[in-house]
């Protein structure tokens, strides 16, 4: 059996984790010009796994548990919280959303998130419309997501959630919510319906692909 491997996921990208990983974060307060920008937080830290490498058994194979952890980094001007999740034995899920029935309520805040079943408290934000109009970019109801790709355990579950909140000052008032679940595949597509309490229905399409642990024999094909 090959050694298990981990994939690191965050709000911007997924990274194959087979050794040491370092995070470099630079936060600035914008001024009127670039020369007037002020440093708020500078962090360069090595990532440490969020828990001991305990083994579990799934489908007769030993593999590491997925996990999530947070660390605080304090500077003179700010405190930065860095949350990292390790997703074991991963496949890549590329998500698309389309309104197929009804319409999104005007003036409300819409959020679409994704998580894996074993680490349900780590939600990856796919879309947060705030109080702006939902970014529908095609006549067929296709929604423009701010993030589309997440990593999912091959033996686990992908969960996509949708929440509609009231606009104005009552942001905590939930008008509708729903979820759709998907079993991972090595390749191909999955489709499911996310029903927001009858207000509207979204068709969620997930395209699956493997994450390469090693480069293919002969190298990657040249780009044109």
Domain containing residue 200: CATH number: 2.60.40.150
Give the C-alpha separation, 82 to 71, whole Å. Answer: 5
* pLDDT mean across residues, the chain: 76
User: What is the arithmetic mean of pLDDT over 204-217?
Assistant: 78
Q: Which domain holds residue 126?
A: 91-210
User: What is the arithmetic mean of pLDDT over 158-168?
Assistant: 86
Asked whether residue 27 carries a pLDDT value surpassing 60, the answer given is yes
Please give the pLDDT value at position 53.
44
One domain, residues 154 and 74: no
One domain, residues 205 and 97: yes
One domain, residues 42 and 120: no
DSSP one-letter code for 118: T
Asked whether residue 108 carries a pLDDT value surpassing 50, the answer given is yes
Question: Range with the lowest mean pLDDT among 53-57, 82-86, 110-114, 147-151?
Answer: 53-57
Please give the pLDDT value at position 86.
74
The count of structural domains within the chain is: 2
Q: What residues are paired with 82 via a beta bridge?
A: 71
Query: Who wins on pLDDT, 91 or 41?
Result: 91
Has this prediction a pTM greater than 0.75? no
On whether residue 11 sits in a domain, the answer given is: yes
Q: Band the pLDDT of 12: cuts 50, 70, 90.
A: very low
One domain, residues 43 and 98: no
Give the C-alpha separation, 38 to 23, whole Å. Answer: 21
On whether residue 1 sits in a domain, the answer given is: no
CA dihedral 52, 58, 63, 68 (to 10 degrees): -50
8 A C-beta contact, residue 207 and residue 187:
no
Domain finish residue from 40, 59, 88:
88
Residue 80 structure tokens: 């930065």
One domain, residues 101 and 75: no
C-beta pairs of 103-107 under 8 Å, 24+ apart in sequence: 103/200, 104/134, 104/136, 104/164, 104/199, 104/200, 105/164, 105/175, 105/176, 105/199, 106/133, 107/131, 107/167, 107/168
One domain, residues 55 and 97: no
One domain, residues 97 and 170: yes
Asked whether residue 5 carries a pLDDT value surpassing 50, the answer given is no
Query: Who wins on pLDDT, 6 or 26?
Result: 26
One domain, residues 159 and 185: yes
């Amino acid at each position: 059996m090959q050694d298990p491997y981990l994939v690191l996921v965050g709000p911007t990208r997924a990274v194959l984790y087979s050794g040491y990983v370092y995070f470099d974060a630079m936060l600035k307060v914008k001024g009127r010009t670039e020369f007037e920008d002020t440093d708020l937080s500078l962090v360069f830290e090595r990532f440490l796994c969020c828990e001991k490498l305990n083994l579990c058994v799934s489908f007769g194979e030993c593999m590491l548990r997925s996990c999530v952890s947070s660390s605080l980094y304090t500077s003179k001007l700010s405190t930065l919280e860095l949350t990292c999740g390790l997703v074991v034995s991963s496949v890549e899920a590329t998500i698309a959303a389309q309104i197929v029935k009804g319409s999104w309520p005007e003036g409300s805040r819409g959020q679409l998130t994704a998580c894996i079943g074993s680490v349900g408290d780590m939600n990856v934000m796919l879309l947060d419309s705030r109080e702006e109009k939902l970014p529908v970019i095609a006549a067929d109801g296709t929604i423009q997501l701010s993030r589309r790709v997440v990593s999912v355990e091959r033996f686990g579950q992908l969960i996509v959630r949708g929440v509609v909140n009231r606009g104005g000052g009552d942001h905590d008032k939930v008008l509708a919510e729903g979820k759709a679940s998907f079993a991972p595949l090595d390749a191909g597509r999955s489709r499911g319906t996310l029903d927001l309490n009858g207000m509207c229905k979204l068709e969620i399409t997930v395209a699956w692909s493997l994450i390469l642990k090693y480069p293919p024999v002969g190298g990657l094909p040249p780009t044109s």
